[in-house]
Amino acid sequence: GAVVSQHPSRVICKSGTSVKIECRSLDFQATTMFWYRQFPKQSLMLMATSNEGSKATYEQGVEKDKFLINHASLTLSTLTVTSAHPEDSSFYICSASRQARNQPQHFGDGTRLSIL
Amino acid sequence: AQSVTQLDSQVPVFEEAPVELRCNYSSSVSVYLFWYVQYPNQGLQLLLKYLSGSTLVKGINGFEAEFNKSQTSFHLRKPSVHISDTAEYFCAVEGGTSYGKLTFGQGTILTVHP
C-alpha cells in the first residue's frame, strides 16, 4: 500500500522558533499533498492544498505567511510554522494523493507540535 | 459545499458484538465517500471507499459500509468487533467543486470492552 512518512513525530520548542515538518510519499508520486491541523478531540481541519511545482492554496482563515508550504518535488512537501507561539500547538497531519480527483488520500502519522 | 455528520461521538460496545457507526452527508452533487480510522497519536488509515458501482463496499479489517443515496448515508458496520478495533473513526466526503479535498465528519470514538 501507499506509504507516507511524516517527520518529526514530535517537536517541543520555545516560542518564536520556526519549525519545519516534512511529508514524503515513499512509494508513489504525489501530485497533490494536503496539510491538516487537528485539535484535541476534534476532527481534521484542512489548512492548505499543495500541488507539485505551484503555490499552495490556503483555506480561508489560514495565514499563508505563518504556515509556509513548499512542494518542490513529487515526493516531498514541507510545512514551516514561522515564529511559532503557544496557540500554534497542535497535531499536524499531511496526506498525499496520486491525483486529486477520487483517489484516496494516504496520511502520514502526524506531528505533535508543542510550543512552550 | 459538502458537509458530513457523524451522529454518535462515542460508541461503546462489547467484544464480538456487532457495531454500526453512522454517517450522513449533504451535497448537491455526486460525491465520493470514505471511512478512515485513527489510532492514538497517529495519522489516518483508509478503511474503505465508495466511488461508484455497488452500494455495499467492503474494506479492511472486516469492515463494510453501505451507500444509501436516498438517505444520504454511508454507515460503517462490522459484524463482530475486537479489542483492537478501539480507535476513532472518521467519515469523509469529496465532491463537487472541492476538487480532491475531503470534508471530514466530527469523528466517532469506538471503544470495545472485553
| B99 pLDDT higher than 70 | no
pLDDT tens, position by position, A66-92: 999 998 888 999 999 999 999 999 999
A93 contacts in chain B (CB < 8 Å): 43-44
A56 contacts in chain B (CB < 8 Å): none
A9 to chain B, closest Cα gap in Å: 9
* Cβ B63 vs Cβ B113: under 8 Å: no
SS3 B84: helix
One digit per residue, pLDDT tens: chain A, 116 residues?
678 999 999 999 999 999 999 999 998 888 889 999 998 878 889 999 998 888 899 999 999 999 999 988 889 999 999 999 999 999 999 999 886 556 778 999 999 999 99
Determine whether A51 is exposed, middle or buried from the number of CB atoms within 10 Å of its CB (0-12, 13-18, 19+).
middle
Q: Compute the distance between CA of residue B11 and CA of residue A102 in angstroms, rounded to an integer.
A: 29
pLDDT tens, position by position, B43-61: 899 999 998 888 999 999 9
Interior angle at CA B104, CA B101 and CA B108, nearest 5: 160
A26 dihedral zone (left: phi>0; alpha: psi -120 to 50; beta): alpha
Q: Compute the distance between CA of residue A49 and CA of residue B102 in angstroms, rounded to an integer.
A: 11
Q: Which of B43, B49, B100 sits opposite A108 (nearest CB)?
A: B43
* Cβ B90 vs Cβ B76: under 8 Å: no
Contact residues for B30 (Cβ-Cβ < 8 A; gap 6+):
B95
A82 to chain B, closest Cα gap in Å: 23
